[in-house]
Chain A
Amino acid sequence: MTIELLKGNVALAEAAIRAGVEAYFGYPITPQTELLEHMAKRMPELGRAFVQAESEVAAINMVYGAACTGVRTMTSSSSPGISLMQEGLSYIAGSEVPAVIVDIMRGGPGLGNIQPSQSDYFQVTRSAGHGDYHPIVLAPASVQEAIDLMTEAFDLADKYRHVVYVVADGLLGQMMEPAELPPMQPLRKERAGWALTGSEGREKRIITSLQLNAPDLEAVNLRLQFKLAEIRKREQRSTEMLTENVRLVVVGYGTAGRIAETAVKRAREDGMKVGLFRPITLWPFPERRLSALADQVDAFLVVEMNAGQMLDDVRLAAGGQVPVSFVGRMGGVVPVPEEIYDKIEEIYVKLPVRVR
């Protein structure tokens, strides 16, 4: 394998292809369109399905259909398009079929703009559409990590028969970095035991999210909640830098986490005991590790490219043990390391004198 200079969106597309995606359905929207364009060229070359749908609504329902047959399938979009997909995502989750969605987030609300943002944290982690559930959400911070998580997204989707998001902002989607793609995985020949493949030689199979009888639907929900509890137990992922013997931990994911890393390094150079915690799964939120850190530090600072959405999860993980501050920019404005540094310094000088 060789290291190449790859654009985030193209890397995500090619990583999905190498992970064995058999069908892609999408609709153009900035800043993710290169992903769709790469699929438009590559998928037919490989004899796999590519359809440019008439809308994001149609695209996600095409994904739903293909997912019912047990193949690896995906779509990609950006914030307003993800809003339109909520209906289909809810059906996919309710029917328990695997699907992968890439969201290259941009500034909102409304049409907003096409600049990088993390405005979809609530939208992707709280649910996707109506009903009681959370999708799995993976948040890379580099092109290489995007490639690695794309492969993992399909494995997780298959393992749990669930919706898996890979979320990045427009900056990660558009920028080029050196990265290495994995080798091409062979396509699976076998289909899962639940998949719609035609009833020849067996009982018919039905895939539906409809349960008219309330106790039956409660049973479906209980099964879903049991699955989510398992995911919460097993799949929390995060990375951290310099978090031993520190007083302040900065928490940021994706691009914001990367910018925060620069600010944290400068603060260390200036003698401040500061570390960085970067969630990789936004759902399940890496609460176990962050709660453990809350026992060891004096404060958390959350950095996001939104008004403070992950902030809620950090507060929950902190459990009132340490104060949680926030610094963020909105509307497609990308924070610079200096403003995060200034906030670190502002909090740091006010930290109480340690008694323990």
Chain B
Amino acid sequence: MVEEKVVYQRPDALCDVPTHYCPGCTHGVAHRLVAEVIDELGVRGRTIGVSPVGCAVFAYQYFDMDGAEAAHGRAPAMATGIKRVMPDHVVFTYQGDGDLAAIGIAEIIHAATRGENITTIFINNAIYGMTGGQMAPTTLPGQRTTSSPSGRDVELTGYPIRMAELLAGMPGAAYVARQSLHSVKEINRAKRAIATAFKAQLAGLGFSMVELLSSCPTNWKLTPPEALAWVEQVMVPYYPLGEYKVTDEVRALTRKQG
């Protein structure tokens, strides 16, 4: 007799539906990590997710929990409204780089400065995905996009913005980290960061954000393996991985809970 043991299955917090994400895109991995963390914390029934405008616009279709769809960039404001009247609920936003770092930069900075007790999952793939590959605030110097066809010229368009470093400087931020989804090792680290971010919220410690370096093979015009290599070789050097803000309270929390 061989004893069967389930070692891998769909998390309860993810719906059993087909996804619209492109092959090789790491949004699916990010969704799964968030869902696993929510399952492990046992908070699915009291979690409300706020979806962005961008490739993850349908995130609410994939997460099996209450959800709302925000206007472009406004997810942190919307999440603030929800959290202030539902303080016992878990509220998170899931946003891309155009959404969070361009049109919504005021909302995310002020959510962080207020120490808004919400969690933000930030997908940085250095490009506007849904609109077909335009330059994002996170597009790297020299990177070709449909709106920087000769490569991003920093003299004309400025430099890519490092959001984790920026938000870590906000006193209201309890936990800010940047991780990557380009390898199994990094995915495991990313999950630990997401878990810490949600635990910080559950403990009422303030704003938490995890930036995830993510791939966009379609708009980068690379194969999925090439895209993961590009994340590692091109994005990581500009966007160093690690924890940028861990308050003492958050550190105590992770030490206590493992």
Contact = CB atoms under 8 A, between A and B. Distances in A.
Contact of B86 (A25, A69, A201): A69
Nearest to A70: B85
Interface string A305-345: 00000000000000000000000000000000000000000
B85 A199 contact: no
Nearest to B86: A69
A91 B75 CA distance: 12
A209 B69 contact: yes
A198 B46 contact: yes
B222 interface: no
A199 B50 contact: no
A53 interface: yes
A196 B68 contact: yes
B50 to A, nearest CB: 7
B141 interface: no
B66 to A, nearest CB: 4
Contacts of A49: 84-85
A186 B258 CA distance: 44
A61 B107 CA distance: 10
B236 interface: no
B45 A198 contact: yes
Using C-beta atoms within 8 Å of the partner chain, give the interface range for chain A.
35 or more
B85 A58 contact: no
A70 B184 CA distance: 41
A301 to B, nearest CB: 42
Interface string A43-57: 000000101011101
B45 A62 contact: no
B231 interface: no
A58 B69 contact: no
A51 B84 CA distance: 9
Most buried by B among A66, A198, A207, A210: A198
Contacts of A57: 74, 77, 106-107
Interface stretch (B57-65, B173-181, B249-257): B57-65
A204 B45 CA distance: 9
Nearest to B43: A198
Contacts of B189: none
Nearest to A88: B71
A169 interface: no
Interface string B34-75: 000000000011111011000001101101111111110010
A223 interface: no
Contacts of A66: 81-82, 84-85
A207 B65 contact: no
B25 interface: no
Using C-beta atoms within 8 Å of the partner chain, give the interface range for chain B.
35 or more
Nearest to A207: B68
Interface in A80-129: 87-88, 91, 95
Given A197-B66, A198-B46, A198-B47, A61 B85 contact: no
B84 A58 contact: no
Contacts of B78: 61-62, 64-65, 68
Contact of A204 (B51, B66, B70, B106): B66
A22 B85 contact: yes
Contact of B71 (A61, A68, A71): A61
A210 B51 CA distance: 11
A19 to B, nearest CB: 16
Interface string A203-239: 0111111100000000000000000000000000000
Nearest to B46: A198
A152 to B, nearest CB: 22
B121 interface: no
Given A58-B107, A210-B57, A65 B66 contact: no
Contacts of A64: 70-71, 74, 77-78, 81
Contacts of B162: none
A51 B82 CA distance: 12
B80 interface: yes
A199 B81 contact: no
A269 interface: no
Contacts of B45: 198-201
A65 B77 contact: yes
A97 to B, nearest CB: 9
A205 B69 CA distance: 11
10 closest Cβ pairs, A-B complex: A65-B81, A200-B45, A208-B69, A61-B77, A65-B78, A62-B81, A66-B81, A198-B46, A61-B74, A49-B84
9 contacts: A49-B84, A55-B106, A64-B74, A68-B81, A87-B74, A91-B70, A198-B66, A206-B68, A210-B69
Interface of A: 22-23, 25, 49, 51, 53-55, 57-59, 61-69, 71, 73, 87-88, 91, 95, 196-201, 204-210
Given A49-B85, A62-B81, A198-B47, 15 more contacts: A53-B77, A54-B107, A57-B74, A57-B77, A61-B71, A64-B71, A64-B77, A64-B81, A65-B70, A66-B85, A200-B45, A206-B60, A206-B68, A207-B67, A208-B69
